[in-house]
Structures are given as C-alpha cells and as structure tokens.
Amino acid sequence: MRAYERLLKYVQVWTTSDEASDQVPSTERQFDLARLLESEMKELGLKEVHVDEHCYVYGTIPASPGYEQAPAIVLIAHLDTAPDYSGEHVRPQVWENYDGGDLTLPSGRVLSTQQLPHLPSLKGRTLITSDGSTLLGADDKAGIAEIMTMAERLIGQGAGEDDWQSGHGRVCVAFTPDEEIGGGAALLDIPALGAAWGYTVDGGPEGEVTYENFNAARADIEIQGVSIHPGDAKDVMVNASLVACRFNELLPGTQTPAHTSGREGFYHLTRMEGDTDHASLHYIIRDHDEAMYQARLETLRHITQTLNEQYGSGTVTLTVTEQYRNMIEKIRPCMYVVDYAVEATKEAGLEPCFEPVRGGTDGAQLSFRGLPCPNLGTGGYAFHGPSEHITAEGMDYVVEILMGIVRHAARHRG
C-alpha cells in the first residue's frame, strides 16, 4: 500500500486537540485513531504494540538476525490536528495529474498560485487536498502514514525481493497526542523505547531536514489599574487598558511575525483583554539565537519596570513561562543523526533542505529529555488551514528517506 492511501483513511478520523483542556489526551477522540493504528500495527507484524492510558501508541520492529547490536532508533509522528481550523468531517480530494495552476476546491475555495507560489512545481503529481471546508490533516497524519508504510516494507509485507538483504537494527514507532498544543513529548516513555536517537516526521516539503527551532517562552502581563469616576479622575485614574497599549508600544514594532523570517525572532501578541480597572496581554516570544532570546525577555522585564516606575509599584506584573528550547544545542554533539538523514535524502534523489523551524517540534522537547531528535519533512504544505495539501509522490519520497535512515543507522559505529 502506498502512503497516500493510508493518509486518505487517517484524515477522516477526527483528532483535533483542545488547548483549553488540562487532560492528556486533551480530547478523547484521539483514541479513535490510536486504536485504529494499534490494530493495523499488529496486523503488519510489529511487536510490543500497545496504546497507553494517555493515548501514546507504541510498537517495535525487531532487528534482523545479525543486527541485534545495532543502535535502536525511533520514528515519531503525532495523532492530533491543530485547533486553528476544523478537522471534523474531512473529505479528502485526490487530483491526479495536477496541472500546476489555480485549483478550485469543492467548497469554492481556490488554491492560488499567487498565494502559494510553489504550486507549479507540483505539476504532474497526484495532489491531495480537503474539500476546502476543513483542514486536511496531513499535519501530521502524513507522517503517520509514511512511518506505517515504511514499517510494512521493512517487515517484508509488500517489499521487493532484494529489499533489506543487508539487515536492519531495531526500529521503534511512536505516535503521540497533543503535539499541536505543546504536550506531545511530555509523557513519551523514552526509557521503555530504548532508542539511541529518533526522528519526528512532522515537517514540510519532502527532503526537509531540520535540527534548529525557536527558543520559546510565553509572557503573560497583568495590569492593575485605578478605576474612578472620570469626572474625578485627574491625577488619580490609572486606565489599565491604556497602560496595556503603552506596554505594547514600547516593544519594537517591526519585530513581529508579520515582519520577520528565517532566523529572525519576534514578539507576538496573541490575546488582549481589558477595561479601566484591569487588563492583560499575552505574548509568545521566539528567537533561534539564545542571546537574542534572553535579550527579548530582558526587554519585557525592562518595560515592566519602567511602567511600574511611572504608574506605581505593582501596576504591571510579568510572568514568563519557558516553553521549549532550540534543539541544536543537543544535536551538535551527535551530528551523525543529521548526516544519516542527509545521506538518505540524497539517495532518494532529493537535495536536502535545512530551513530552521519557525516554531517547535516534539523533537525539540525530546532532545532536551535525552533523545536527540531532528525533524523530517512529510511532503506537505500550508498546514493548519483549509489550503493544506500534499502529493502522493512527495509521500513516496519520504518513505524512501525513512528506509534509507534505517539502513544507515544499522551501520552506525559510535
């Protein structure tokens, strides 16, 4: 079975996570896909297959004879889809021999080459979309489908006669819940996996190999005003909403997501509420560079101090919560994990792409938990919205890359 055929089935299972929930998984519906995968993994012949109480799915492909001492690796993808857009009632559409131009989806939404300039490069491929009323869910059900297809081939079901004659080490498979809301790596049982390193299959175009991501924090600012009748307000009132506006004005206006790219960081105001008496601001802070990241946090502290000096002590309260760190810090000592992915990508006939992730991945958290874990592209584009799409051929490439990584890992000496 080709990977895209699995994708068409998986995306129809509703698995949207819920950032307002404090449970793991955040939505019970993620178990629907987890149990489906558990059944399929057992049918394929994976060992030690189970779903735990938190909706983590585990399985193992044992080493082939003679390769029992090779280091074990783990391949990881996530079950949930982003709550940014509806993931319910997904109706996947298959467009064979796509002509590379503007494409009108059944909902009337248009995939425009002006907004999505890479589309002409997909000409002649089999394009997969939603009907335009939902997201597709290739993030990250494409990663799941590619790992499952690799497992099928590795075990020997559907493999060619000369596949894997040279053997392979133990390969672990793990599918996690709640990645889209930042919780996917938290409860993964790394010791039970016994893997030396891993790869998340959760990126963009095929051939993408990423091992840099943002340093990330959340900043919550609470502002306590002094509310009084406006007729008696002179030299007494402190309008909390105006103080909130002042706080945002003191940040660099061009250092927002709309003005930055590549390795440039930003301050992103995600939510604000307020009235005269009380206001709040909520930001996410991002930067690839550690020194710049710390400087951004210091800027927030400085603004807080400045406004408290102006309006009175305790007017502004800043709380910073670290979310994740740049995985390159943990990847640098073991760059062979990247090298194997690069070699496998080249062997599949693609040129590796090394764009830093302008976000985070489960791999970042796992790397800091002791499991070095770069991220690989799935072949998908325009995630988290109704324009999301992927190609069958791109997914085939990813399966070949995963096969190549397993081959290289089996020969690791270190």
pLDDT tens per residue, range 338-393: 999 999 999 999 999 998 888 878 899 999 999 999 999 999 999 999 999 999 99
Answer yes or no: do 141 and 258 share one domain.
Answer: no
Task: Give the pLDDT confidence score for residue 215 in this predicted structure.
Answer: 94
Average pLDDT over residues 250-268: 95
* Catalytic one of 179, 208, 362, 400: 179
In this prediction, residue 20 has a pLDDT band, given cuts at 50, 70 and 90, of confident
Answer yes or no: do 185 and 204 share one domain.
Answer: yes
Task: Give the pLDDT confidence score for residue 97 in this predicted structure.
Answer: 98
At 287, which CATH number? 3.30.70.360
Name the pTM for this structure: 0.88
In 252-407 the beta strands, taken as DSSP E runs, fall at: 266-274, 278-287, 316-324, 375-377, 380-381, 389-391
Length of the chain: 414
Answer yes or no: do 82 and 186 share one domain.
Answer: yes
* Catalytic one of 80, 178, 202, 287: 80
pLDDT tens per residue, range 64-108: 998 999 999 999 999 999 999 999 999 999 999 999 999 999 999
Answer yes or no: do 278 and 226 share one domain.
Answer: yes
- Cα 182 vs. chain centroid, distance in angstroms? 9
Asked if 347 is an active-site residue, the reply is: no
Among 297, 324, 351, the domain boundary falls at 324
Domain-located, residue 414: no
Average pLDDT over residues 193-206: 96
Residue 279 pLDDT > 70: yes
Bond into 140 cis (ω within 30): yes
Q: How many distinct structural domains can be found in the chain?
A: 2
Residue 165 pLDDT > 80: no
Least confident segment among 54-58, 91-95, 120-124, 214-218: 214-218
Residue 32 pLDDT > 80: yes
Domain-located, residue 176: yes
Which H or E run includes 200? strand 197-203
> Which residues, at least 6 apart from 306, have a Cβ–Cβ distance to it below 8 Å?
250
Answer yes or no: do 40 and 144 share one domain.
Answer: yes
Backbone torsions φ then ψ of 57, nearest 5 degrees: -105, 130
In this prediction, residue 157 has a pLDDT band, given cuts at 50, 70 and 90, of very low
Residue 174 pLDDT > 50: yes
Average pLDDT over residues 324-337: 94
Task: Give the pLDDT confidence score for residue 164 in this predicted structure.
Answer: 45
Asked if 80 is an active-site residue, the reply is: yes
Residue 166 pLDDT > 70: no
Answer yes or no: do 13 and 109 share one domain.
Answer: yes
Under DSSP, the state recorded for 227 is -
Cβ atoms of residues 379 and 315 within 8 Å = no
Domain that holds residue 143: 3-212+326-409
In this prediction, residue 183 has a pLDDT band, given cuts at 50, 70 and 90, of confident
Domain-located, residue 196: yes
- Cα-only R_g, the chain: 24
Among 305, 324, 343, the domain boundary falls at 324
Residue 275 pLDDT > 60: yes
